[in-house]
Every structure is written in structure tokens, then in C-alpha cells.
Amino acid sequence: MTVPTGSLYLVPNTLDFGTPGEVPDLQDVLPLAVIRHAARLTHWVAENAKTTRAFLKRVDAVVPLAQPLQALSIIELPRPRKGASNAAPGDLRALLAPAQTGHDIGLISEAGLPAVADPGAALVQAAHALGVTVVALPGPSSLLLALAASGLNGQSFAFVGYLPVEAQERGVRIRELEALSRRLNQTQLMIETPYRNAALLGALLAHLNPATRLSVSSGLTLAGGFTRTDTVAAWRAGPHQLAADVPAVFSLLAG
């Protein structure tokens, strides 16, 4: 008798990881169908086991877990070796072993959609190579929410991750991205560690042309979250204070 292969479910997490204050109700952020999917999964691959347990406690408050939290299998993604971009393929195949015996697996990151500006893409690739069905569940993605709220070009955009920390290199990179945006009419999205939000905003205002439009989305899905889109000239005339402990997404479209 052939054992059916399980699937790899990409389970979205909330965007409130590490933020101060009261977190939103889980059902205000995730569809109930996604919460039900998460509640029934007994095997997990996680960016961080501790935050995954915290997420599953919130799930359990809405839909009881199929097994007690202590009985669930939660394995962390291997961290890449220094200088390497991904874990060894053998390591990733081992993480998918439960699917070969018929168990569905959940993949989750600390915030937002796994494998999008977060770890997990290599595991998804390994799942495809093994013939394991991959199912992406709907939920919040800070990048897409910020892009939608920005009013910038949503037909052509690129996520460029983190910019260099060193001031001169960062300035060069900002000007490169602005030139690319102008040439392709393409929105450029980037993120920063929250405590450096103000530094990145200051660098963008220092190096971008006055007509370039700059959008900042902070605390998406949280109380007090906002998106502001304006020209660099207007930002310089009335800058906005950014919290040093709330994630933000920065977007630019050259004027």
C-alpha cells in the first residue's frame, strides 16, 4: 500500500513580532481558515521555535490544536554556514521526511510570509525537487501591504532587502536604486533593523532627488500603524519621527 505524500504548507505569521504594546487579535490579521490549518498541523519547520510556540498558543486560543503544544514537532531551519547562502540539500531533505510518511508540514517564519524576505525558500525548493506539494496560505506580507498603501508603481517593483550600514556605501546604493527606478519606472522597496529606521530615513532624504517620491509604512496591522507617501522635498520640509522598535518598509519611485 502506497503511503500518500504530505504537503508543505507555508503558514503566514502576524507582523507584530518584537513590537511593543498590545498585539492585535489573531482573527483580525489571519483568515479563520488559515488558523484552522495551523491548528491541525503536528509537524513544523520554523525560523525560530520559541516564536512559533508563541504563535501556536494564539492559534490554540481560537481553534484547539490537534495535539498539545508540547507534543508537536517543531524543528528550526538550519542557519547557513558563514559565507554560505543556504543549508546543505541533505539537511533540507531530512526536514521534509515527515511528508514522505504522509504528514503535512507547516513552514513558518517570525513574521509575515515564509520564504518572502524571510528564510524558507531553499526548503520550498527542496520540496518541489522531492515532489512534495507546496501550498501557500494567505496572510499578511509587509512588503505587499506597504506597496499597496504607497500609491507607487505596483506593476513593476523590486525588493532590495537591507542597504549597507556604512554611510558612504549606503549613499552610493541609494543613488544606484534611484537611477534604476528612474530608468525602469520601478518601485524599489527596502527594510531596516528597527533601531536604524531613523538613520535610513535620514540617508534617503539626504541622497534622493527632491522630486522622487518616498513612502514609509510603519507598524502595519498594528494600532498606530501608518503609511506616508510624499516627495522627498515635502519629507524634508516636514520629516516624520520613526519608532526605533517598530518595523518599517521604505519604498521609492524616482521622479
Identify whether the C-beta of residue 125 lies closer than 8 Å to the C-beta of residue 161. Answer: no
Residue 230 to residue 236: CA distance in whole angstroms: 10
Residue 215 to residue 112: CA distance in whole angstroms: 20
Q: Which domains does the chain have, with CATH numbers?
A: 7-136 (3.40.1010.10), 142-253 (3.30.950.10)
Work out whether the CA dihedral 69, 70, 71, 73 comes out positive or negative: positive
- Cα 238 to Cα 187, 198, 230, 241: the distances in Å are 23, 14, 10, 10
Identify any residues that bridge with 217 across adjacent strands, giving them in sequence order.
227, 249
End-to-end CA distance of the chain: 63
Nearby residues of 97 by Cβ (< 8 Å), 6 or more positions away: none
Q: What is the reported pTM?
A: 0.89
Residue 249 to residue 204: CA distance in whole angstroms: 13
Model pLDDT, residue 171: 97
Identify whether the C-beta of residue 60 lies closer than 8 Å to the C-beta of residue 39. Answer: yes
Identify whether the C-beta of residue 69 lies closer than 8 Å to the C-beta of residue 60. Answer: yes
In tens digits, what is the pLDDT along the chain, a chain of 255 residues? 566 789 999 999 999 988 887 788 999 999 999 999 999 999 999 999 999 999 999 999 999 999 999 999 999 998 765 445 555 556 788 999 999 999 999 999 999 999 998 889 999 999 999 999 999 999 999 999 999 999 999 999 999 999 999 999 999 999 999 999 999 999 999 999 999 999 999 999 999 999 999 999 999 999 889 999 999 999 999 978 899 999 999 999 998
Distance of CA 86 to the CA centre of its chain: 18
